[in-house]
Chains A and B, each alone.
Chain A
Amino acid sequence: MKPARLSLSDVFRVGASGLHARPTRVILSALGIAIGIATMIAVIGISSSSREELLRQLDKLGTNMLTVSAGNTVFGEPSKLPVGAVDMVSRIAPVTSAAATGTVSTTVRRTAHIDEAVTGGITVQAATTSLLTTLEGGVAKGTWLNDATSRQPAVVLGARAAERLGITRTGVRVWMGGRWFTVIGILGPMPLAPEIERSALVGFPVAEEELGFDGHPTTLYERSAEEAVEGVREVLPRTVNPENPSEVEVSRPSDALAAKAAASGAFTNLLLGLGAVALLVGGVGVANTMVISVLERRKEIGLRRSLGATRGQVRVQFLSESLLLSALGGVAGAILGALATIGYALSQGWPPVVPPWSIGGAVGATLVIGTVAGLYPAMRAARLSPTVALSTS
């Protein structure tokens, strides 16, 4: 005589009927799992969204820009780039645009009455007219320098520089190197060249005439075709400073952003750990609910045994109940986590990204927790003697 097998749908029905009878308890213990899963999905989703945003930014800014700066001589003194360096760089075949800035040793102030030492961290720089196109930047207000205004006492302020000087419109005057300069423009953000954001920029000719600038650039910016970047990088030092190529430093500003995108995982791991702890606590909650359920339902278990349920079928009943309970929490948590990710990403202006593997991982974690939490209560239920149904107490 062999016992009949329960069909899968019957296993599901029996497991669900146990939950159906105690809705409040089911919601509360599923909530524990939901919080854990939601935390993990949101942490993964938000960090993925932020990385996606960085990559998009990188894509927009381009990774084909190199900067060249004057390094130090072999004796440790600051070296200078040759006066004609920009033209030389422009002549490298793959280079599409090149520009230069040179640090001018003066300060920019609202009036002459402000102490010269109070610079507000703003550097005065001479800039070639090609700088804005090379950086692919924009002007927030006013205009950029042209050949005419490069010869006149006109200045364009970087976004941060304008903010620190308290200047929000063009046409006002600032005190530079013992005379007034008129602000003709304020620049927008320059993510690849933050030093420009903190600069007050004037033309090369006026810097040499009025501010005692020696005409030697300190930094060169160039863009080339994407695939030629490495080749250009090779030849830049010799092109810029043929006599002392080792004194020249070449860098790729987009590398910093790429590194930031790659490094955003460190903090995520910590939060993920927190989510895992929440999930574990949720699992303990499910186990607790199941143990209490088995204690309360001794008579139901006895009745099912008298109806012909085997020990295995009782075990499967409580395991499926535990699995359903945690799956309920898992699904709710995944939805909550995805909503939190979408909400936060949209509020930050990021593209919302919920990686499918995180949802898959959440489902897997839920199933493991449901099984582990249900195993002990299910064993206890299966070990109960069928005669408990008949005990009248």
Chain B
Amino acid sequence: MNIVELRGVTKTYNGHVHALRGVDLTVSTGELLAIIGPSGSGKSTMLHMIGTLDRPTTGSVRIAGHSVLDLTDRQLSALRARHLGFVFQQFHLSPGVSALDNVADGLLYTGTPLRTRRERAASALERVGLGHRLDHKPNQMSGGEQQRVAVARAVVGDPPLLLADEPTGNLDSAAGAEVLKIIKELHEGGTTIAIITHDNEIAEWCPRQVRVRDGLVLS
């Protein structure tokens, strides 16, 4: 079964900036792939398309069987809440909020009661090896730990598709390896994962590479 299907997707900003020029991409359930390309290649726009954060100018996008063009903004929000998890280069954790509550917020928009959110957040933090850091605030943690909290937040709802945008971009190689190890474990657990990166080493580490340049998929 295909969890991501892009067909002839183009994206044009302001009528003349062509970020994507007709992209086809199919990702089947359980894959681990890297979307690789230099900055300005259109890989971030591809992430927006797959993550339903933006709509294509032309072409069709199907995520988990839902056609993005046919869904309203509210329905897209619900799709993101239940089917997608995001990990960002800059972590985007709430300062002054404990790791547990940062992760619990990953379930905030799924209608889960607070007690259950916290229970599942605790087990998600356990999974990324931070079971002993539940009450720590982001500023009391290293970059690698913060990114692991962000990964826990992305997967606390067990989404079928995880999108990671330069997940190791702000980390040293040891912390980066730690995060990649967790990603690998999630992949082995059955989650479909797409890593957006410009780092060849990380791309080679993935079973499948999708190379993007000038708004087109090369391979």
Binding site for B on A (CB under 8 A): 1-7, 9-10, 13-14, 17, 20-21, 299-300, 303-313, 385-387, 389-390, 392
The verdict on A390 contacting B97 (CB below 8 Å), with A1-B78, A308-B82 known, is no
Apart from A1-B75, A3-B77: 16 A-B pairs, beta carbons within 8 A: A14-B108, A17-B94, A299-B90, A303-B86, A303-B92, A307-B153, A308-B78, A308-B81, A308-B110, A310-B74, A310-B78, A310-B109, A387-B53, A387-B54, A390-B165, A392-B90
Q: Which of B29-37, B43-51, B122-130, B206-214 is the interface stretch?
A: B43-51
Q: In whole angstroms, how far apart are the Cα atoms of A311 and B110 in the complex? A: 15
Residue B105, interface by CB 8 Å = yes
Contact A3 B74 (CB under 8 A): yes
Q: What's the minimum C-beta distance from A85 to chain B, rounded to whole angstroms?
A: 85
Q: In whole angstroms, how far apart are the Cα atoms of A225 and B78 in the complex? A: 79
- Chain A residues with Cβ under 8 A from B96's Cβ? 20-21
Q: What's the minimum C-beta distance from A11 to chain B, rounded to whole angstroms?
A: 11
- Chain B residues with Cβ under 8 A from A310's Cβ? 73-74, 77-78, 109
Q: What's the minimum C-beta distance from A14 to chain B, rounded to whole angstroms?
A: 7
Q: What's the minimum C-beta distance from B106 to chain A, rounded to whole angstroms?
A: 6
Contact B81 A389 (CB under 8 A): no
**B: contact size bracket:** 35 or more
Which of A17, A299, A392 has its CB near the most chain B CB atoms (within 10 A)? A392
The verdict on A306 contacting B53 (CB below 8 Å), with A3-B81, A387-B48, A390-B48 known, is yes
- Chain A residues with Cβ under 8 A from B105's Cβ? 307
Residue B89, interface by CB 8 Å = yes
Task: Pick the contact of A309: B47, B77, B84 (CB < 8 A).
Answer: B77
- Chain B residues with Cβ under 8 A from A390's Cβ? 44, 47-48, 53, 88, 165
Contact A308 B80 (CB under 8 A): yes
Which of B44, B79, B94 has its CB near the most chain A CB atoms (within 10 A)? B94
Chain B residues 117 to 154 lying within 8 A of chain A, measured CB to CB, are 153
Residue B71, interface by CB 8 Å = yes
Chain B minimum-CB-distance residue to A392: B89
* Smallest CB-CB A-B distances: 5 pairs: A308-B81, A4-B111, A308-B109, A3-B78, A310-B77
Contact B80 A306 (CB under 8 A): yes
- Chain A residues with Cβ under 8 A from B66's Cβ? 1
- Chain A residues with Cβ under 8 A from B106's Cβ? 307
- Chain A residues with Cβ under 8 A from B25's Cβ? none
Residue B114, interface by CB 8 Å = yes
Contact A9 B108 (CB under 8 A): no
Contact B92 A9 (CB under 8 A): no
Q: In whole angstroms, how far apart are the Cα atoms of A51 and B84 in the complex? A: 66
Q: What's the minimum C-beta distance from B54 to chain A, rounded to whole angstroms?
A: 5
21 pairs from A and B in contact (CB 8 Å cutoff): A1-B75, A1-B79, A3-B77, A4-B110, A4-B111, A7-B113, A299-B90, A300-B94, A303-B86, A305-B80, A306-B51, A308-B78, A308-B82, A309-B77, A310-B109, A311-B73, A312-B74, A313-B109, A387-B48, A387-B53, A389-B92
- Chain B residues with Cβ under 8 A from A3's Cβ? 74-75, 77-78, 81, 109
- Chain A residues with Cβ under 8 A from B113's Cβ? 7
- Chain B residues with Cβ under 8 A from A4's Cβ? 78, 81, 109-111
The verdict on A307 contacting B81 (CB below 8 Å), with A1-B66, A14-B108, A300-B94 known, is yes
Q: What's the minimum C-beta distance from A32 to chain B, rounded to whole angstroms?
A: 24
Q: In whole angstroms, how far apart are the Cα atoms of A390 and B48 in the complex? A: 9
Chain B minimum-CB-distance residue to A311: B73
Q: What's the minimum C-beta distance from A253 to chain B, rounded to whole angstroms?
A: 67
Q: In whole angstroms, how far apart are the Cα atoms of A67 and B167 in the complex? A: 94
Q: What's the minimum C-beta distance from B38 to chain A, rounded to whole angstroms?
A: 14
- Chain A residues with Cβ under 8 A from B73's Cβ? 310-311
Chain A minimum-CB-distance residue to B101: A17
Q: In whole angstroms, how far apart are the Cα atoms of A5 and B94 in the complex? A: 22
Q: In whole angstroms, how far apart are the Cα atoms of A1 and B84 in the complex? A: 14
Q: In whole angstroms, how far apart are the Cα atoms of A239 and B17 in the complex? A: 105
- Chain B residues with Cβ under 8 A from A2's Cβ? 74-75, 78
- Chain A residues with Cβ under 8 A from B88's Cβ? 303, 389-390
Q: What's the minimum C-beta distance from A292 to chain B, rounded to whole angstroms?
A: 17
Q: What's the minimum C-beta distance from A22 to chain B, rounded to whole angstroms?
A: 9
Which of A307, A312, A392 has its CB near the most chain B CB atoms (within 10 A)? A307
- Chain A residues with Cβ under 8 A from B97's Cβ? 17
Q: In whole angstroms, how far apart are the Cα atoms of A10 and B112 in the complex? A: 10
Chain A minimum-CB-distance residue to B92: A303
Residue B15, interface by CB 8 Å = no
Chain A minimum-CB-distance residue to B51: A306
Chain A minimum-CB-distance residue to B91: A303
Residue B95, interface by CB 8 Å = yes
- Chain A residues with Cβ under 8 A from B89's Cβ? 392
Q: What's the minimum C-beta distance from B196 to chain A, rounded to whole angstroms?
A: 10
- Chain A residues with Cβ under 8 A from B44's Cβ? 390
- Chain B residues with Cβ under 8 A from A1's Cβ? 66, 71, 75, 78-79, 82
Q: What's the minimum C-beta distance from A186 to chain B, rounded to whole angstroms?
A: 71
- Chain B residues with Cβ under 8 A from A9's Cβ? 114
- Chain A residues with Cβ under 8 A from B82's Cβ? 1, 308
- Chain A residues with Cβ under 8 A from B165's Cβ? 390
Q: What's the minimum C-beta distance from A270 to chain B, rounded to whole angstroms?
A: 45
Q: In whole angstroms, how far apart are the Cα atoms of A389 and B90 in the complex? A: 9
Contact A309 B114 (CB under 8 A): no
Q: What's the minimum C-beta distance from B77 to chain A, rounded to whole angstroms?
A: 4
